[in-house]
Amino acid sequence: MQKLLKRANQAQRQAQRRATEVAKRDRINAINRNKESLRRANQEVRQNLRDSRQARQDAWELGPLAPKRDLGFNGYGLLKESARTDWSMDGRLSLKPELLEKRCAWAGGSKQLNLAPKDRVVILDGPDRGKIDRIKEINLAVGSVTLENCHQVMSAGLMGDQQYRAQPMPLPIDSIRLVHPITDPNTGVTRDVIINELKSVGSNMNSPHMTFDRWEYGKRWDRVVPSLNTVIPWPAVEPPKLTTHKIDTIRENVEDRTFFYSLLSPPMPESVIDELRGKYSRFRTRHDAEYVARKEAEAAAKKQTHEINKSMQTPLEEFHEKQRQLRAQEGEPELSDAMLEKIGEIIARKKKEALGNAGMTEVSPTSMPPTGGASSSTSAPGPL
C-alpha cells in the first residue's frame, strides 16, 4: 500500500512541475506576442504620420496635380488589419490597473462599469467629436468601447484581400460620456443630458448583504447620477432563445430530488464518486477494499519469493547480505575531531606547496603590523 501512495505522490509532483513549466512558457510567449503586436502597431502609426506629412507636402507643392487620395482602391487612407486587431475585443492586451481605473473612473470603475451595449454616448475626442452614437461592444481588458456607426476607418482584409470595408476602431472609455433624456423638474421639459459621472447602488458582488432574488439577465445593480440622485435605467436585454433537445436536462428534472440517503450510506453513490475522482487515475489515494487486498497479497507473495530466494543463497551472497545489514545499522558516517584536524593539516600543506611553486610566501596574521596607527617602536625621523 505504501508503494501505491508513493506512486500517487510522485505522479502529483510530476504533474505540478509540468503544469508550472507550461504556465511559465505560455506567459513568456504571451509577453513576446504582445511586444510584437505593439511594435507592429507603433510602426504602422509612424508610417501613417509620414504618409500624412507627405500628403500635406504634395497638396501644397503640386496643387491640382496631387494624388487623389480620397478615392478608393488606391491604398491611401487605409488602415492595416494589424493596428485594428491589436486592440480588438479579444482582450489579448491589457492595461495597467491604475490606467484602467483612470479610464473607467467616471463610469464607476472597471469592477462595476455602469455602461452596457446599446447605451447612447457622446464622443469627446477625435474627428467625430460631438457626435452621438450607441455602444456596440465593451472591452474591459483595455478600457475601450466600439460604436455602431462613428469612429470607423477603411481597412483592407487579411492575406492581401482587396475588399475594403469600414471597421470600427476602439475608443477609450474616458473619451465618451453617457447621454440620457432627463426631465427638468422646474420646466417639465425632457431633453438629452450629458452625464459626466455615474455611481453604482444596490446589490453587487462586493456588497456585504445577500440577496435571494432570482437574477437571470442584465445588471444586478442600479446606476445613479450622484448630483441628481436619479436612476438611469439599463438598456433592454433580450433573453436568449434556448431550445430543449432530448439529451438536455430541463430545470424540473434538475430540481427534483432523485437520491435519498441516510447516515449509514455515503452522500452519493459509489459509481458517481468513481466518475468524479477517476477510478484508474494515477493521482488516486483512496482505493477499493478488493484492490487493496489484492495489492497486499501481491506484496506478501513477493516477500515470500524473496525469502525463498534468500534461503538458496551462496556463501558469498550471504556475506554481502550481512555487510549490507551492518551498514544499514551503522547509519551515516560522521567525521571525528581527529579526522577534521588531519584534513586541515593536509589542506594547509597543499596550500603552502602551491604558494611555494608560484614564488609566493604566505603571510601569517600575527606577523602583520597593527592597522590602527603608527607602531610604538617607530622612532621619529631625524634631521635631514
Asked whether residue 175 is domain-assigned, the answer is yes
pLDDT tens, residue by residue, 316-338 = 888 998 898 888 888 787 888 99
Asked whether residue 88 is domain-assigned, the answer is yes
Asked whether residue 8 is domain-assigned, the answer is yes
What pLDDT is recorded for position 25? 94
What pLDDT is recorded for position 86? 39
Q: What are the grid coordinates assigned to 283, written together?
A: 493521482
Q: Which residue has the higher pLDDT, 46 or 162?
A: 46
- Give me the number of domains the chain comprises: 1
Mean pLDDT value of segment 279-302 = 85
Share of the chain above pLDDT 70, in %: 80
pLDDT tens, residue by residue, 77-98 = 555 544 444 344 444 566 788 9
Query: For residue 178, what pLDDT band results from cuts at 50, 70 and 90?
Result: very high
What pLDDT is recorded for position 210? 47
Q: What are the grid coordinates assigned to 371, written together?
A: 592597522
Asked whether residue 17 is domain-assigned, the answer is yes
Query: For residue 213, what pLDDT band results from cuts at 50, 70 and 90?
Result: low
Asked whether residue 87 is domain-assigned, the answer is yes
pLDDT tens, residue by residue, 342-377 = 999 999 999 988 888 887 766 555 545 554 444 444
C-alpha to C-alpha distance for 149 and 168, rounded to whole angstroms? 8
In the predicted model, is pLDDT for residue 5 greater than 90? no
Q: What is the DSSP string of 283-329?
A: T-----HHHHHHHHHHHHHHHHHHHHHHHT--HHHHHHHHHHHHHHH
Q: Angle of helix 2-61 relative to helix 289-311, nearest 10 degrees? A: 120
In the predicted model, is pLDDT for residue 204 greater than 60? no
Q: Which helix (H) or strand (E) holds 192?
A: strand 190-195
What pLDDT is recorded for position 155? 67
What pLDDT is recorded for position 339? 92
Asked whether residue 274 is domain-assigned, the answer is no
Q: Are 139 and 91 in contact (CB under 8 A)?
A: yes
Asked whether residue 261 is domain-assigned, the answer is no
Q: What are the grid coordinates assigned to 66, written together?
A: 496631387
Asked whether residue 63 is domain-assigned, the answer is yes
Buried-exposed string 83-98: b where 16+ CB fall within 10 A, e elsewhere: bbbbbbbeeebebeee
C-alpha to C-alpha distance for 7 and 283, rounded to whole angstroms? 8
Question: What domain range includes position 141?
Answer: 1-184
Residue 304 neighbours by CB under 8 Å, 6+ apart: none
Q: Which residue has the higher pLDDT, 133 or 8?
A: 133
Q: Could you tell me whether strands 78-79 and 152-155 are parallel, antiparallel, or unpaired per DSSP bridges?
A: parallel
Beta bridge partners of 181: 192
Q: What are the grid coordinates assigned to 237, written together?
A: 436585454
What pLDDT is recorded for position 120? 93
Mean pLDDT value of segment 207-227 = 67
Query: Which stretches of 86-187 are assigned E, i.e. beta strand?
Result: 120-123, 132-139, 144-147, 152-155, 165-168, 171-172, 176-183
Q: Which residue has the higher pLDDT, 189 or 84?
A: 189
